[in-house]
A = this chain, B = another copy of it.
Amino acid sequence: MPHLKHDRIPRATISRLAIYVQELEGMEQQGVKVVSSEKLANACGVNPSQIRKDLAYFGEFGVRGVGYYVFELKEAIKQSLGLDKTWNVVLVGVGNLGRALLRHGVLRKRGFIIVGAFDCDPFKIGEEIAGLEVICSSKLPAKTNELYVEIGIITTPPERAQRAANYLLEAGIKGIVNFAPARINAPSNVSVEYVDFIHNLFSVAFNITQNQAKGLI
């Protein structure tokens, strides 16, 4: 755990750090060894000062007059975000989306290992997806105690999201990523993130309407 120079870090900063990691990985693949805040900023579509400020929350990673060493910066950010370890994850709700997530390699690649998949549908229990047997969700608390699980992903229908969350909370989970479009209640020491791309579609629709009104289109 790196020492933080400030105690509260803006949410937006965390989100941008994720983008920086992405771009740095791309640069690494292309053989780029060193990058300036300006170059990285262009790639990420942000302001160079923003990058320097974001990094300053965690420490000093650059070399004045030179820039940042791509590999080292990437590693430093990952460590700052707590991504220098792997995280065990369970998934609740093996439907369309749940399956896509289970099959998709990106989670594992990023250090999030799905170690359990749960559903309440008897037809799905016992089925094997991506090498993982679907287990009855009522067994979730017991099962997750066996494994060392810290994060839960909810991909049930929205009206079942709270129930799924309750299972996860009972299992002592410390963070939840909820894909169902419903607020869930959880103690304040449990981190809850909501994922809903409909918001992005709304945003695009709104922007198009705006642009049309302004005569830009």
Interface residues of A (CB under 8 A from B): 1, 11, 14-15, 17-19, 22-23, 26, 43-45, 80-83, 87, 96-97, 99-100, 103-104, 106-107, 110, 112, 150-151, 174-177, 179, 181-183, 189, 191-209, 211-213, 216-217
Q: Write the nearest CB–CB distance from A128 to chain B, whole angstroms.
A: 17
A208 touching B18 by the CB < 8 A rule?
no
As for how many copies of this chain the complex holds, the number is 2
- Min distance, Cβ A124 to any Cβ of chain B, angstroms: 16
Contact among B82, B110, B191 for A198, CB-based, below 8 A: B110
Q: Tell whether, in the assembled complex, residue A191 and residue B211 are in contact, meaning their CB atoms are under 8 Å apart.
A: yes
Determine which of B104, B203, B206 lies in contact with A97 in the assembled complex, contact meaning CB atoms within 8 Å: B104
Min CB gap A175→B, angstroms: 4
With A110-B198, A112-B201, A183-B43 as contacts: A191 and B175 at CB distance below 8 Å: no
Q: Are A179 and B205 in contact (CB under 8 A)?
A: no
| A206 neighbours in B (Cβ, 8 Å) | 14, 80-82
- 19 extra interface residue pairs, beta carbon distance < 8 Å, beyond A83-B205, A96-B104, A151-B201: A11-B203, A18-B202, A22-B181, A45-B183, A87-B201, A96-B103, A97-B100, A97-B104, A106-B198, A107-B198, A107-B201, A110-B202, A112-B205, A174-B211, A176-B204, A177-B197, A177-B200, A189-B211, A191-B203
